[in-house]
Structure 1
Amino acid sequence: MDLKEVHSVYFIGIGGIGMSALARYFNAMGKKVSGYDKTPSPLTDTLQKERIDIHFEDWGEAVVGKLDKTSTIVIYTPAVPTDFGELEALRDMGYVMMKRAQMLGYITRYTKGIGVAGTHGKTTTSTMLAHVLHQSIGCNAFLGGISSNYGTNLLLDSSSDISVVEADEFDRSFLQLHPFGGVLTAVDADHLDIYESASALLEGFELYINKIDPEGFLLIHDTIQLPSACKQIRYGLSREADIQGMNLRYEAGTFRMEIRVYDEVWQNVILGVPGIHNAENALAVIGVSLELGVSKEAIIEGLQSFKGVKRRFEYIIKEPNRVYIDDYAHHPTEIKALLSSIRLLYPEKRVLGIFQPHLFSRTRDFMPEFARSLSELDELIVLPIYPARELPIEGITSEALVGQVSGDKGQVLSPDAAIEYVTKSDWDVLLTIGAGDIDRIVQPLRERLI
């Protein structure tokens, strides 16, 4: 279907972070946008304020009578069960239906798409890149998080042919994209419920980077060895990198480093967001921006003025004697990177972490690794596992995870009990960590602590 002939777009799972960016995109184009989501959330509240119609019950076959088949596209998320009533009814009636990734593929086919892929760092890297480009040469961006600079997950610029998108490996969605350039941040094992093995996941990433235009480019972390037909630019903290970060430090209240960009050294570059992982993300952003023609001065200014992404190393409270940071980390490698950055920023401080495991399968596949990463905390609270799309797995529980954490420093509590415990506990730095619905305790915690 030609998008010019489309008058309405209907979303199944409209409240998802990636789906909502597309909903906003079509709303900005003047299409009639509506959709279903399982539960209300701050994001669906915002969409409704933007005059997007949303309902929270499965209309089943009744949905057919509400949508004109000849002028409607249905976009759905793979997170919705295949036997969901509305999905089955619309499919049976022959509506034009696309997964979210297919629509992003359409957009990247007809623009200069920059796909940011990797098992960690996609959202922060793509949002940082979008900010640098938006402040300099302009871009469109479909983000997997809410930019703290702009308060949205969608940036639009009708004068730009550049589109920044997250290339999501879940459900092999990134294979639907047609990028001109890209970033590959990490290929650690994850989503083994989809790929079944780390080698199969690696093969998926190789397939993806070989979808990049041969005339384009790939910024690839210097720990990754994968062939591609396009130009590769390696970034990282090692001497072998084409773009290398050096002398990372926290100085005068800001996170800084020197950067060797090919044969030139950029001195005393200030990052708007702290963290070792964010320093590496910034290196990738530098490489992409230079390839797209952004000046050194504009890149440095953009990196310094970048305010981050909601739930990515987000400061909730920042006082001289008490700090509270909320982070989306849901993989052992991400937790390790988070805690390494915390120790760099706040050495000798007592750190209390509240962690919510995401998915029974991920907890099962990486339980020893989770335990090792979480053991770096001074004190740990683990919430019950967030199941998302999964059913429980026998023996895979938060109690089992705490049992593997060293030092007898962990306990399992409900969200409400965790809030009560934290308000009466002794700590210097508090972290809420996880990708489920742990974000729902962030505001109650803040209100109790300030």
Structure 2
Amino acid sequence: MTVSESKYIYFAGIGGIGMSALAQLLLSDGKHLSGSDLSSSEVTASLQRKGIHVELDQSGAAVPDRCDLLIYSDALPESHPERVVAQQRGITTLSYFEAVGQYMLDFEYAIAISGTHGKSTTTAMIANILIQAGLDPTVIVGSIVKEFGSNARAGGKKYIVVEACEHKAHMLNLHPQCIVLTNIEADHLDHYRDLDHIVATFQKYINLLPTDGLLIKNSDDSESQDLNSDSPVVTYGLVEPSDLMATDIHVSKLGQTFVADGTTFTIKKPGKFNVYNALAAISAARHLGVGDTDIDKALKSFQGIWRRFEVMGQYRGATVISDYAHHPTAIQSTVRAAKEFYPDHRVVVVFQPHQRSRTAKLFDEFVKSFHEADFSIIQEIYDVAGREEGESISSTQLVSAIETAGRYAIFSEDVAATRQEIDETIEPGDVLLIMGAGDIYKLAEELTS
């Protein structure tokens, strides 16, 4: 039983950002859907409002008798009760990425955006450009895109744009005609042996491209430089010679402008990393025949996505920004972007590390990533269920190392303590940058509600 053949689909772990996106798209295709999750959330509430029944019971009892396909979150092990029930009843099961890979086959042209950083923003940029150009793409993105208020967009059946995560080599399940590769760094070391293993897996992924496909990659990313493809390759960058290069970058409080191939483009979001994201999106759009006028109009109006340098509002005279950054490079780039956008303002960072194994394996890089922050509040590490390896590391060690490196930092045991530290530290005119991939974003919402 394939995704296209199925009629009654059950989603085990439907509250995940990718699972919920696919569910919405299959609902729009006329499939009968239901699902489960461990707890209610805004995501599950949104699905319920759209007519998808969500059970908060994962014992297996909620799997319908008429179910002919069960799609499960990759976070659920083979021993999960709902997967066990499906196996006992002979129901076809697919992981989320296996299901997305099948779903992509229904489209004439698939674009997959991969890489350590910038996947979600680049996916959203490409989607908005194609919408502006009237190409009506179907979209799956790992965040909420403000332009269409969702992590999914049901468009036509010609183009699909998909964010393709590299965790556990999930992208190998996908079947794109075009791969956009943003950059590669050491991450997800709970699965990969080391950086070489990550690069080798990306090469394996690229090798799946058809001969008439396209690889779009970042020339300035050292780990991507030696990746090869039998398909055509388009490069972009700021430093190394590339097919598309950005020059004359200017930053102001209103955004950034840059010139590429004689055309001036404008984006509202700060940071050189967003110039790279825009260059990737421009490269993909031009390949599909979109003109620069539509590209610039879409980029200029792009409002950004949930938890990506998202300005939430004010708290006690400070500007509160929420960001998903949870890797050292992303933290450093986001702090630097805040400094560029808000010169002469103090930047106070609140960070909740995500996953003890990541914190331990990238410890030295994390320490360096806070160097440009004026003051840092480091909350205790957010444990990721099923992905911890027993490390005893704590944020107290990270704080101690940051202070040893000559920067100001303080430990916070939980969100209540973090709130207290903010109240004792923050001053009017500060920029309060709240970062992490766990639940720390709720604090940003609370402060500005």
* TM-score scaled by length of structure 1: 0.93
Q: In structure 1, the residue corresponding to 2:186 is in which secondary structure? A: coil
Spell out the pairing of 1:371-410 with structure 2 (5 A cutoff).
371-389=367-385, 390-391=387-388, 393-405=390-402, 406-407=405-406, 409-410=408-409
Contact 2:216 2:283 in 1 (8 A): yes
Q: Deviations over 1:110-158 (max 9, x none)?
A: 3211010101111110011111101112211111110011111111222
- Indicate which of 137, 142, 145 corresponds to 2:143: 145
Cα distance in 1, alignment partners of residues 281 and 7 from structure 2: 36
Q: Deviations over 1:37-73 (max 9, x none)?
A: 122111111111111111222223x345x2324xx21
- Counterpart position of 1:57: 57
Contact 2:137 2:161 in 1 (8 A): yes
- Counterpart position of 1:203: 200
Q: In structure 1, the residue corresponding to 2:319 is in which secondary structure? A: strand
Q: In structure 1, the residue corresponding to 2:143 is in which secondary structure? A: coil
- Counterpart position of 2:84: 88
Q: Deviations over 1:242-272 (max 9, x none)?
A: 111122222362321122xxxx3113x2113
1:109 aligns with 2:111: no
Offset at residue 181 of structure 1 (A): 0.7
Aligned in 2, Cα 1:386/1:82: closer, same or farther, shift over 3 Å?
A: farther
Offset at residue 275 of structure 1 (A): 2.1
1:192 aligns with 2:189: yes
Contact 1:276 1:340 in 2 (8 A): no
Q: In structure 2, the residue corresponding to 1:194 is in which secondary structure? A: coil
1:272 aligns with 2:268: yes
Cα distance in 1, alignment partners of residues 439 and 78 from structure 2: 23
Q: Mind listing any 5+ residue stretches in structure 1 that lack a counterpart?
A: none
1:172 aligns with 2:173: no
1:432 aligns with 2:430: no
Aligned in 2, Cα 1:319/1:289: closer, same or farther, shift over 3 Å?
A: farther
Cα distance in 1, alignment partners of residues 127 and 228 from structure 2: 26
The one-letter amino acid of 1:439's match is: Y
Q: Across the two proteins, how many residue pairs are aligned to each other?
A: 437
Aligned in 2, Cα 1:178/1:5: closer, same or farther, shift over 3 Å?
A: closer
Cα distance in 2, alignment partners of residues 4 and 185 from structure 1: 31
- Counterpart position of 2:444: 442
- Counterpart position of 2:344: 348
Cα distance in 2, alignment partners of residues 318 and 372 from structure 1: 28
Spell out the pairing of 1:177-256 with structure 2 (5 A cutoff).
177-222=174-219, 223=221, 224-225=224-225, 226-251=227-252, 253-256=254-257
Offset at residue 320 of structure 1 (A): 12
Contact 1:174 1:208 in 2 (8 A): yes
Offset at residue 318 of structure 1 (A): 6.2
The one-letter amino acid of 1:242's match is: D
Contact 1:233 1:242 in 2 (8 A): yes
- Counterpart position of 2:418: 418
Q: Mind listing any 5+ residue stretches in structure 2 that lack a counterpart?
A: none
Cα distance in 1, alignment partners of residues 116 and 328 from structure 2: 11
- Counterpart position of 1:327: 323
Offset at residue 319 of structure 1 (A): 9.6
- Counterpart position of 1:290: 286
Cα distance in 1, alignment partners of residues 253 and 292 from structure 2: 23
Aligned in 2, Cα 1:215/1:426: closer, same or farther, shift over 3 Å?
A: same
Cα distance in 1, alignment partners of residues 269 and 193 from structure 2: 35
Greater Cα offset, 220-229 or 80-89: 80-89
Cα distance in 2, alignment partners of residues 43 and 233 from structure 1: 37
Q: In structure 2, the residue corresponding to 1:153 is in which secondary structure? A: strand
Q: Deviations over 1:200-220 (max 9, x none)?
A: 111111111121222121110
Offset at residue 434 of structure 1 (A): 0.6
* TM-score scaled by length of structure 2: 0.93
Q: In structure 1, the residue corresponding to 2:150 is in which secondary structure? A: coil
Greater Cα offset, 146-155 or 83-92: 83-92
The one-letter amino acid of 1:286's match is: I
- Counterpart position of 1:258: 259
Q: Deviations over 1:363-421 (max 9, x none)?
A: 11101101110232111111111111234634311111111113352122110121232
Aligned in 2, Cα 1:275/1:178: closer, same or farther, shift over 3 Å?
A: same
The one-letter amino acid of 1:163's match is: I
Q: In structure 1, the residue corresponding to 2:18 is in which secondary structure? A: helix
Cα distance in 2, alignment partners of residues 378 and 145 from structure 1: 29
Offset at residue 187 of structure 1 (A): 0.9
Cα distance in 1, alignment partners of residues 302 and 315 from structure 2: 21
Spell out the pairing of 1:11-26 with structure 2 (5 A cutoff).
11-26=11-26
Aligned in 2, Cα 1:305/1:139: closer, same or farther, shift over 3 Å?
A: same
Contact 1:116 1:182 in 2 (8 A): yes
Offset at residue 4 of structure 1 (A): 5.3
Contact 1:330 1:433 in 2 (8 A): yes
1:124 aligns with 2:126: no
Q: Deviations over 1:92-121 (max 9, x none)?
A: 322111111111111223321101010111
